[in-house]
Amino acid sequence: MVDQTKSSATFAASASRRASRLLSIGLTASLAPLLACSGSNTKEIAPLEYMCETSSARAPSVDGSACGAGDPNLDGMEPKFPTDVCMTLSATRFASDSSPPNEDKQDTDAIQQALVTCHGRAVKLVANGNNNAFIASHLTVDGTTLWIDAGVTLYASRNPDLYQKTGSCGVMGVNDSGACTDFITIQGTSPAIMGDGVIDGQGGEPLIGHDYSWWQLSYALRETDGSLGNPTLINSASKTTGAVLYRITLHNSPKFHVKLTSTLPPGVTCDRRGQGFTVWGVTVLTPSKWMNSQGLVLTPGFARNTDGIDPGTTSIATCGLMACNTVSTGDDHIAIKGGHWVSDVTIAHNHFGTGHGMSIGSETYGSYADPITKEVHRGVENVDIYDLTIDADSRPVGAEAQAADFNGIRVKSDESRGGVVRNITYRDVCMRDMTNAILISTAYNPLFAGSYYPQFGAMEFHDIHHVSCLGLRQPVMTVNGFNSVLRAGPITLDNVYVDNTGPQSASAQFANVILGPGEVNFGDSLVSLSQRPLPAGGGQGLTVTDNRDPANPGTPKHCVFPTLPAPHPPAGWTW
């Protein structure tokens, strides 16, 4: 199956390259008569250029070197497998992609007892001959390491009765976000889930006793923006410290894949990120196959609310490191949730495929009072994001794909959940074929009302390049503060290029924007917007400081996109 995935992904990339070459040739040819007829005083019409350079290297390393090598921020930070394995459990059943594992007998009790017995040490799940699967319903990893070996899959049970909290878990049409317990809860000091195996939430497979899946339950509420309480695959409890996820692969969560929280001990300051939590070398691929066992086609859009990694959803999250991960899913790749204060997070050397973007929000209203200093912290602050690729061209998303399926960098909130976002830095980011290349929005859901107003402060964007391959949509850049008092910014744009922009590609209001010193190829549009009065005479509420240096404009960041994991095609299919 690995070879099939690789060949499928490689074929998709080569097909995109072929299509882009044809588009480029066609567009250049169609423009040729116009160029030939243009007068000497007419500015030449530049042909659109399509950039489809995909590396043959597998993610997360583009050049074959160890991920993070040479990065002083990550020196010595990669987790290690434990040398002390307290207990080894051998698989007793076989499972494949073609059908869900049999649930006549579960492994929940055996795994949980081992985790309790081996507190502070490691429990390892291993294959046994052809037997390669475990099935469980709810597990708690408390200060212990759960090690899932290569070739082994831990499946989440499809029986909703085993996750019941309110009586609504698994019930169609009920808007109840707290209906179900989680599949795995991590808690305590230094809990870890690691290994080269797989955890599969079976979100697209029919539930026991029903003819619908977790995803169908959620999708049924899509039109009303309802929130169903499907199980989270991995959720960390409040006051968890030093959690680690390492090299594990996550498939098909019923809802969010990972919710993270972290609290440092009283009096301890964050001197190096990773003290609170570390997520390193994790792969999220959802859906992991094209069809479920009923023959239903699975798409990322169908896998609603399947965020990849979300710090701050359950409680505060501080001093975190997310490095060398690969995420393709049906919702946000990473969403920093500020409903509980989130601070001091590094997100480095990651690769994203299908999904809703590198997001902050939509909740940003959280606050936290330090129990010793009494200092009050708010929202989301001190986040460094660098060496990131976001590739919407990586795999098919289905005919029902919406604009949100092609977000790049996104900061989102509204007056029902707004608060502080500040000291956010993006560096060395490559994006391909986005609808929203950069989206800073204080009206995430304009239908929601309240008095939690978004307060978006300093954000910096350095060496950002959005490229086009298929170029089916013109990318958009949006920078919107809340009002003339709560203006966004300063927003610094330095050496930021978005290919194939047009006169309507940039939108901004109620913001303070600084351009330069490197070129911003849509900067003139922002300057023009700042000078345009509204009918009421109030202007756009936009201030632009143009510090671009014409003598040293810089060059667009060179972008190479790694071949990403892709869903397994049905047996015998070629494409």
Neighbours of 86 (CB within 10 A): 17
C-alpha span between 330 and 408 (Å, rounded)? 14
**CA 466: distance to chain centroid?**
17
E runs forming strands in 41-138: 54-58, 85-90, 122-126, 133-136
C-alpha span between 77 and 61 (Å, rounded)? 17
C-alpha span between 175 and 461 (Å, rounded)? 38
Q: Is the link from the previous residue into 569 a cis peptide, with omega within 30 of 0?
A: no
Neighbours of 350 (CB within 10 A): 27
> Please, which residues have CB within 8 angstroms of residue 277's CB and are 6 or more apart in sequence?
236, 240, 242, 243, 244, 260, 261, 262, 311, 317, 319, 320, 321
Residue with tokens 């006051």: 239
- Clarify whether 356 is annotated catalytic: yes
> Please, which residues have CB within 8 angstroms of residue 408's CB and are 6 or more apart in sequence?
357, 358, 390, 429, 431, 434, 436, 437, 438, 439, 466
Residue with tokens 């300093």: 458
* Nearest partner of 451 among 419, 412, 421, 484, judged by Cα: 419
Neighbours of 41 (CB within 10 A): 5
Active-site position among 97, 182, 310, 331: 331
C-alpha span between 94 and 480 (Å, rounded)? 53
| Nearest-10 Cα torsion for 204, 208, 212, 213 | -20
Active-site position among 251, 257, 333, 356: 356
* Nearest partner of 312 among 384, 274, 365, 265, judged by Cα: 365
C-alpha span between 15 and 575 (Å, rounded)? 10
The H or E element spanning position 327 is: strand 326-328
Alpha-carbon Rg for the chain, nearest whole angstrom, is: 24
C-alpha span between 122 and 124 (Å, rounded)? 6
Structure tokens at 126: 């291993």
Catalytic positions = 331, 356
